[in-house]
Structure 1
C-alpha cells in the first residue's frame, strides 16, 4: 500500500506562508501584560455605573472610558482567535482562546448597565446634549443606534445577568466548532492520481470538483458517513444554538429571532422576504442550469456530488499562490492605484495564512480589528477556486483597511449586512477580468461555468440555507423538537425543491445541515445572497469607466458604521429596499447561462 499523504504540522509550514502576528503582540510576555492590564480596567468599569446621566460631558467621559477598555480587549481576542485557528488542536491555543472569551464575557457583564442607563435619559435631554456639547457630536450616530432599540433593552440588572450567561449561551456553538474543526476524524480516500490522502474539509472541497465521478462520489459518501454517525449530537448542538437565539429574542421583546438579528443592523425584514420570494420565482433558471450540467457531462444520472465538477472537464487554469497574487492585482486594477497599493501591502506584510496544516481551521476568512492588520486565513489549493477565495477575502480585508483608516474607533467596523458586498464585488470583477483576458472557447466556458456555479452556490444555495434557518427557528419557537430525523427530512425536501428533477437528491444530502457552520451565526447566510446580487450592480458601475461611480464605491468601503447599512449602500448606488438589484442579478445570470449554452454547443 502506498504511503498516505498527510498534512504538515504547523511547525513544518514555511513561515513565509503563515501570517505574522508579532505586530499584534511580540511574544507571550507582551500578551500577558496586556491581558492583566485590560483585566484590571474591566474590573473598574462598574464604578462608572450611575454617572452618565449627570451631564453631557459626563456621558462623553463614560463612553470614552468604556471604549478605552473595549479596544485593547478586542485586540487580545483577535490575537487569541487567530492563534487558535492556525492550530485548533493545540491545547495552549485552546486555553488562550477560552481565556479571552471569558474575559469578553466579563467585560460585557461589567458594561451591561450602559445601554439601559443611557435609555433612562429623556430623549429631549439627550437631543439637547448632542446639540450643545461639541465633544458628544462625534458619537451622535453611535448613540442613535442604541436609542433606536429603546423598547428592546432590559433593565441594567437583567442585561448584566444575560451578559454573565454569555459563555453558557454560546456553549452549543463552541461545541460544534471544536467537534467540526478538531475532533471529527475522516477516513482516507484516493485522489485523482490514485494517491491515498487523508480526507479533510479542505481535501473534500478539492475532490468534490474532481472530473472523475468515482473520486467525487467516494469523497461525498465518506464525508457524510462521518456526519451521519454524529447526527444526533450535531442536532443537539444546532438545537441548542437555535434555542439561544429564540430565547434572546424573546426576552428582548422581539417578535422572533429573525427580527432581532436583522434589527441589530437596522435591516427591514422585507429584505429577507423579498430575497426568498425572488429566488423561488427564479428557481426554473437553476433547474435549467442543473439540467444543462447533466446533459453536458453526459451522465445518465446526475447526483449531488456532480454539482461541483467543472462542466468543461479538467480546468485549464491553475495557479500557485505567487501566480494568484499577480492575477489578483491585475483583476483589481480597475479599483485604482490606491486600492492596489494596500493589496500589495497585504502580500508583502504577511497578513495571509496560506496553506492547510494539521488542526488548522477549515475554510477561509478575513479577521482583525481597529488596531491590527486585516488578516486572512486560507487553505490554499492550486486552482481557480482558491484564486477567487483570495480575491473574495481581500475584498473583506480592504473594506476593513479603508474603514479603520477613515473612521474613528466608534465607527471603525461595519455591519454584517454590507460585509459580503465588498468581497463579492471583487469576485465579480475577477470574473469580468478573466473573461476579457482569455479568448479560448474552452477557457471562456470554464470561467462562465465558474460564475454560474458561484451564483448557484451563493444566491440560490445560501437562500436555501436561509429558508432552512428560518424554518428551524420558527419550529423551535412553536415547540417542535429539532431532532436529527426532523431536520434531515425537511432539508431533503427543501433540497429537492431547489435543484429540481434533473438531479438525484442523494440520501446523504439530507444531513448537509450538520456540517454548515453558518447555521450557528444567527441569520447570517441570507446576506451572502443579497451581497452577491448587489455586487453585480456595483461591479457594472465600477467597470463603466465612470470614476465618480468607482469613487462612490470606495466611499462605501470607507464608511464603516458611520451610517445605517441600507443608507451606506444607497450612497454607493444600490437601493436594497427595492427588488431592482435582484432583478438585475437574475438577468445577468440568465445572460451568462445563454452565453455558456452557446459556447457548449460549439465545443
Structure 2
C-alpha cells in the first residue's frame, strides 16, 4: 500500500564501511566529547526549534490535530470539500510530526548515550504511533469510493489537483489495503515493530564498547567505528589487522544477540507482507515504488556475470601491495602508500564546490549556503551515530551528519550527503508536501552523481602518476564497495528472506555461513577469509531497512550515466537533471529517471558501470606496470 507521507523520515545513509572515520585530532587517543567540538562544525538544530518550549508547543498542537482529524471519519464520501480538508490536515500532521521527530532523533544521534534525548525520541515515537492510528481510516475510505466519484470530486475541486498522483498510486495498490479496523490495528503496533531497529542502534552505538588497538605511531588508542574506517586504510598491515580483529571479535561476542534482533526484524517484515497479501517480502518492499521484481533479480544476475573484473582487481591489489596472501583487511588500504591525499575539511569545501560547477550557478549558490549555514555536523564525538546521513524535513532546510576524518573518502562522503541535501531542498521547495518526498529508489542518484563529479574532477585535474594511481584506486574502491559489495548485501537479504519464508530458523550460525559463502562467491579464491569476517553481517544497519541496499547499486549506475550527460552533454541535459531533483515523488522513480535520460528497467546502466570499472582497472594496471 502507499504509505502515509513519511512520519519516520528516511535516514539516507552512506554505508559506514569506507565512507566515514575519525574526527578527533591525531594527537588525542580518546574520542572527544561533544562539548569539545567547536560550534562552527555542529549543525544548528535550533533551525527546527529555537528551544524545547517551541518543540513542546508543536507536540501539543499535534495532539489537538489528531483529535480534529478524527472528525472526518466516515465523511470522506460526502463531498470533495471534506476530502480536501482531511488531506490538508493530514499534511499538516505529517509536517509537524517530521519536525518533532527530526529534532529529537538528531539530538539523540549527537550522543546515543544522552538519556534526555533518548526519552524525547521515545516520547515522539509514541505520539507518532498515535498519529498512524488516528489517520489509518483515510486510505481505506478513499479506496471505498467508486473511482468515478473520486474523479468527480477531483473535477469539482481544484484543491485536489496536488493529490492526483497520490490517488492513482493508491488505487494501483488497492488490493493491499486492509479494512479501516485492520489498518488501525497495524498502526497501533508500529511502535512495537520499531523495536528491532531501536535495539540494534542502542547495542551498536551506545552499549557496545571496543577495546584499545594499535595506532599508526605504535601507541594504543580507543577503537571506535569511526576510527576503524581510518585504521583499516593504514599502510601498516599490523595496524589494520589489529583493528579488523578487534572490531569484528567485538561483534562476534554479541553475534547471538544480533542474530535474534535481525531475526525479529525479518519476522516483522514477513508479518506485514503476509498481512497485506503480498506474494513475498521482496514484492512488498518494491511494490510501493512500482519497481518490478525483475529489476532486483536482474541486478544480481548482471553482477554475477561481471565478477571476473572484481576478482582481477583483488589479484592486482595482492600483487601491487607485494603480499604473500591478501585478506579482507588489506582491500581498503590504498595501492599507493607514499601519496598524501590528506584533505582537511576546509579544503574539502572548496573541492566540492568546484567539482559541482557543471550543475550550474543556482545549484552552486544553494550548496554554498548549506555548507556555511549550520546544515552539517562535521566531526566524530563520543556517542555520536557512526556513518553519515542526510535528513530532510519539510519547511526546514536539510541536515547532514558526518564523521569527517581528513581523508579523500571523507570529502567524497561530504559531496555525497550534500547531493542528498540539495535533492531534498529542491524537492521540498518545488513540490507540495504530498509529493515532496522522493522514493528510496531515486534517493541515491543525486548523491552518487556528486561523488562521480568529484572523482572525475580530481582525475582531470591531477597529472602526477602516483596521485592518479591513488585516485584510480579510489574509483575502483567506490565501485567495489557501492556496486559489487552492495549487490552482495542485496543477495544476502534475498537469500535470508527466502529462507525465512520457507520456515528456516535464522541463527547466528546460519547467518555466518551465508555471509562467508557470498564473500567467497564474489571475491574469489585469491583472498583469505578470516573467521572474524563471518560476523560482519551483524554490523550492517541497513538490514533493518529491508531491501534498501540494492538501490545504492541502481543509484550508482544511474548516476554514472547522468554524470556523463552533465559533463559532456548540453544545457538541456543539465536542466533535465535539475528537473529530476525538483520532481520529488511526483511520479514513479523509473519514469522520473527515464525523463532525466536513463532507463533503469534495463540492465544496460549496470553493464555500462561495470564496463567502466573494467576500463579503469586496465588503466591502473598499465600505470602500475610503468607503461
Secondary structure of the 2:213 match is: strand
Matched, 1:82 2:106: yes
CA deviation vs aligned residue, 1:208-236 (integer Å, no higher than 9, x gap):
01111100000000001111100000000
Instruction: Report the equivalent of 2:344.
Output: 320
Distance 1:533 1:445 in 2: 23
Deviation at 1:195? 3.1
Matched, 1:182 2:206: yes
CA deviation vs aligned residue, 1:261-295 (integer Å, no higher than 9, x gap):
11111111111011000000001111111111111
Matched, 1:254 2:296: no
Matched, 1:52 2:86: no
CA deviation vs aligned residue, 1:144-172 (integer Å, no higher than 9, x gap):
12111100000111111011001111111
Farther-moved stretch of structure 1 (518-527 vs 59-68): 59-68
Distance 1:194 1:113 in 2: 62
Distance 2:248 2:97 in 1: 39
Instruction: Report the equivalent of 1:281.
Output: 305
1:167 paired residue among 191, 194, 200: 191
Instruction: Report the equivalent of 1:157.
Output: 181
Q: Normalising by the residue count of structure 1, what TM-score does the alignment of the two structures yield?
A: 0.98
Distance 1:69 1:397 in 2: 23
Distance 1:215 1:53 in 2: 67
Instruction: Report the equivalent of 2:567.
Output: 543
1:394 paired residue among 407, 414, 418: 418
Distance 2:228 2:367 in 1: 29
Q: Normalising by the residue count of structure 2, what TM-score does the alignment of the two structures yield?
A: 0.95
Secondary structure of the 1:88 match is: coil
Instruction: Report the equivalent of 1:269.
Output: 293
Distance 2:371 2:91 in 1: 31
Instruction: Report the equivalent of 1:566.
Output: 590
Asked if 2 retains the 8 angstrom alpha-carbon contact of 1:4 and 1:198, the reply is no
Farther-moved stretch of structure 1 (127-136 vs 26-35): 127-136
CA RMSD of aligned residues (A): 1.3
Deviation at 1:545? 4.2
Asked if 2 retains the 8 angstrom alpha-carbon contact of 1:117 and 1:156, the reply is yes
Asked if 1 retains the 8 angstrom alpha-carbon contact of 2:353 and 2:364, the reply is yes
Farther-moved stretch of structure 1 (510-519 vs 3-12): 3-12
1:513 paired residue among 521, 526, 537: 537
Distance 1:282 1:521 in 2: 27
Deviation at 1:57? 2.2
Instruction: Report the equivalent of 2:7.
Output: none
Asked if 2 retains the 8 angstrom alpha-carbon contact of 1:19 and 1:353, the reply is yes
Instruction: Report the equivalent of 1:436.
Output: 460
Instruction: Report the equivalent of 1:418.
Output: 442
2:499 paired residue among 466, 469, 475: 475
Asked if 2 retains the 8 angstrom alpha-carbon contact of 1:57 and 1:136, the reply is no
Where structure 1 has 5 or more consecutive residues not aligned to the other structure, the ranges are none
Secondary structure of the 2:257 match is: helix
Secondary structure of the 2:396 match is: coil
Where structure 2 has 5 or more consecutive residues not aligned to the other structure, the ranges are 1-26
CA deviation vs aligned residue, 1:173-222 (integer Å, no higher than 9, x gap):
11011101111100011211123211010000110011111000000000
Counterparts of 1:88-127 in structure 2 under 5 Å? 88-127=112-151
Distance 1:260 1:335 in 2: 36
Matched, 1:298 2:322: yes
CA deviation vs aligned residue, 1:21-72 (integer Å, no higher than 9, x gap):
1111011111111111112212332222111111222211111121122211
CA deviation vs aligned residue, 1:489-545 (integer Å, no higher than 9, x gap):
111011100100111111111101000000111110000011111111001000014
Instruction: Report the equivalent of 2:245.
Output: 221
Secondary structure of the 2:400 match is: strand
Distance 2:423 2:28 in 1: 41
Asked if 2 retains the 8 angstrom alpha-carbon contact of 1:272 and 1:526, the reply is yes
Instruction: Report the equivalent of 1:355.
Output: 379
Distance 1:539 1:387 in 2: 18
Distance 1:132 1:267 in 2: 33
Distance 2:68 2:503 in 1: 42
Instruction: Report the equivalent of 1:370.
Output: 394
Higher relative contact order (CA 8 A, sep 6+): 2
Distance 2:338 2:227 in 1: 17
Matched, 1:408 2:425: no
Instruction: Report the equivalent of 1:593.
Output: 617
Distance 1:565 1:442 in 2: 40
Instruction: Report the equivalent of 1:579.
Output: 603
Report how many aligned residue pairs link the two structures: 602
Matched, 1:526 2:550: yes
Asked if 2 retains the 8 angstrom alpha-carbon contact of 1:4 and 1:195, the reply is no
Instruction: Report the equivalent of 1:20.
Output: 44
